[in-house]
Amino acid sequence: MNRHVAPHLSQFDGHHVDSWYAASAPQQERYPALEGVVKCDVCVAGGGFTGLSAALALAEKGLSVALLEGALIGFGASGRNGGQVLHGFASPMRLFEQQLGGRAARQCWDVSLEGVALIANRAHRHGIDCDLHWGFLSTARNKQQRQALTARQAQLERYGYHDSQWLDQAALREHIDSPRYNAALYDTGCGHLHPLKYVQGLARAAHAAGVRMFERTAVASVDEDRQGLQIGTSNGWVRADKLVLACNVDNGGILPALRRTILPVTSHIIATEPLPEALASKLLPTGAAVCDSDRVLDYFRLSADRRLLFGGRVKHDNSNPNQLVDERRAKLARVFPQLANCRIDYAWGGHVDMGLNKLPQFGRHSSRIYYAQGFAGHGVALTGMAGQLMADAIAGDIGRFDVFARLRHRQVPVPASMEESLIRLGVMYHRVRDALGL
């Protein structure tokens, strides 16, 4: 018998983090904690985009499913991220081509496009009101970044994608009123949404499809024998044939080797006070989401109630919330000097699960445990397909899942106690390169 033991869930006080998302989402349904014994075909650990997508797809295939969430549905990255719905990956397609070859790399690209369409289809089919809006800007502020965007557009066209339009400085002013940028790619095939509303909608859809949902139910152990898996929790256990691990940075206690291939990079978002309609429409006339081209990037967009949500990587830990807000406010003022003195109503953060090569990490542990992690900031759309592909593989269609499972990943070269120092060093290095325009 093989046994895997998980640590206690940390940073959960019974509520969602104090974010604009939590304040603006309707009261979500509450699901009970697991007590006693549940038997099912598949147990899903993790109540975010990946786990709920897998659970919904499995239930639609006729399998019995139990989903365990250690905190609340959407408590982690799925309920507090930047909300940008993007195709592609954090890593360039040449890495896929180098590892997998051209044909399989094209399959991965097509999966990323399908991930964007999957969000739109599920929102429509299940009536999920998640403020979905189309339009995305990738901006440049110097020669090197313009050259990188030109190369990206050429790559998109090589893959047969033609929804990305080059904007010079004059045309860019029709989309964003900022002195910081002088060119951009405008993509009508990407967009943004309210992530907590979307993840709550997925939960309702999965529950309606027959998934048994349990909150405040962390996985404590996993025992595997010839008959299947026994997943232990604090007040009960689940007997299942298969297990889907969809916990990202919280996977490690169950399968420590998975945790050693990703870094928990901190990202932080501030939300301004609601802006006057005239000002909001002047800042971002088309309502597009925006991401700059710095290595330590910033991302921002308008909310449905005209707040500017401004996020990015941070250069230190979360020990000083005021310092985090001051850092975000200073960067906001560089992009929009008009907002230098606006009130900040909300500030929150979370972790982006990132591998050293930024490639997504899909795979199996033995023949019964499936996992997906390492979305590196592209998780809003890609997580949906990760769940779908795991469901397909469990149901017998292994083709596309196994393409991703062939990707190779390196272990983080320092112990967990030194990860924060490694991340800070990396952020500092890339900030210097950004400042020098390298």
- The predicted-structure confidence for 298-322, as pLDDT tens digits, reads as follows 999 999 999 999 999 765 555 567 7
CA 412 to chain centre: 20
Average pLDDT estimate for 319-336: 87
- What is the pLDDT, as a whole number, of residue 316? 53
Q: Give the domain CATH number at 9.
A: 3.50.50.60
Choose among 122, 100, 96, 265: nearest CA to 193: 122
Beta-strand relationship, 298-302 and 212-214: unpaired
**How confident is the prediction for the chain on average, in pLDDT?**
91
Query: Does residue 42 sit in the same domain as residue 150?
Result: no
Q: What is the arithmetic mean of pLDDT over 323-347?
A: 94
**In degrees rounded to 5, what are phi and psi of residue 100?**
-115, -20
Angle at 110 between CA 61 and CA 299, to 5 degrees: 105
Residue 321, domain member (yes or no): yes
Exposed / middle / buried, residue 367 (Cβ in 10 Å: 0-12, 13-18, 19+): exposed
Q: Is the pLDDT of residue 428 over 80?
A: no
Q: Are 168 and 51 members of one domain?
A: no
CB 43 within 8 A of CB 238: yes
Q: Considering the domain boundaries, does residue 19 fall inside one?
A: yes
Q: What is the pLDDT of residues 255-299, one digit of tens each?
A: 888 888 888 888 999 999 999 999 999 999 999 999 999 977 999
Q: Which of 315, 331, 352 is the last residue of a domain?
A: 352
Reduce the DSSP state of residue 51 to 3 states and report it. helix
In a domain, residue 90? The reply is: no
Token pair recorded at residue 371: 């996992």
Residues 186 and 282 in one domain: yes
313 token code pair: 């990587």
- DSSP, collapsed to helix, strand or coil, labels residue 291 as strand
Contact 175, 137 (CB under 8 A): yes
Task: Check if the beta carbon of residue 300 is closer than 8 Å to that of residue 290.
Answer: yes
Residues 201 and 305 both lie in one domain = no
Does residue 232 form part of some domain?
yes
Domain end, chosen from 320, 352, 384, is at: 352
Q: Which of 187 and 353 is assigned the larger pLDDT?
A: 187
Tell me, yes or no, whether 342 and 393 share the same domain: no
User: What is the DSSP annotation of 58-96?
Assistant: HHHTT--EEEE-SSSTT-SGGGTS--EE--S-SS-HHHH
Residue partners of 194: CB distance under 8 A and separation at least 6:
21, 24, 25, 83, 130, 131, 303, 304
The first and second tokens of residue 282, run together, are 């002047």
Lowest mean pLDDT among 311-315, 328-332, 377-381, 412-416: 412-416
Give the count of domains, the chain: 2
Angle (nearest 5°) at CA 223 between 66 and 376: 65
Do residues 268 and 348 share a domain? yes
> Structure pTM?
0.93
Could you tell me if 212 and 330 lie in one domain?
Answer: no
Helix (H, G, I), strand (E, B) or coil at 106: helix
Residues 301 and 346 in one domain: yes
38 located within any domain: yes
Residues 22 and 51 in one domain: yes
The pLDDT value given to residue 324 = 84
Q: What percent of the chain has pLDDT over 90?
A: 78
Comparison of pLDDT for 438 and 235, the residue scoring more: 235
Quick one: 284 and 187 in the same domain? Answer: yes
Q: Which domain holds residue 399?
A: 2-81+196-262+356-407
Cβ neighbours around 139 below 10 Å, total: 27
- Is 124 a domain residue? no
Helix axes 49-60, 195-208, angle to 10 degrees: 30
In a domain, 328, yes or no: yes
Let me know if residue 116 belongs to a domain: no
- For 230, half-sphere exposure in the C-beta direction (CA atoms, 13 angstrom radius) is 12
One domain, residues 251 and 268 = no
Query: What is the DSSP annotation of 393-436?
Result: HHTT--HHHHHHHT---PPPSS-GGGHHHHHHHHHHHHHHHHHH
CA distance 79 to 21: 7
- The pLDDT assigned to 51 comes to 98
Q: For the domain that residue 343 is a member of, what is the CATH number? A: 3.30.9.10
Please check whether residues 381 and 324 belong to one and the same domain.
Answer: no
Tokens in use for 300?
């921002």
Q: CA 16 to CA 90: how far, in whole Å?
A: 27
From CA 280, how far away is CA 9, in angstroms rounded?
Answer: 39
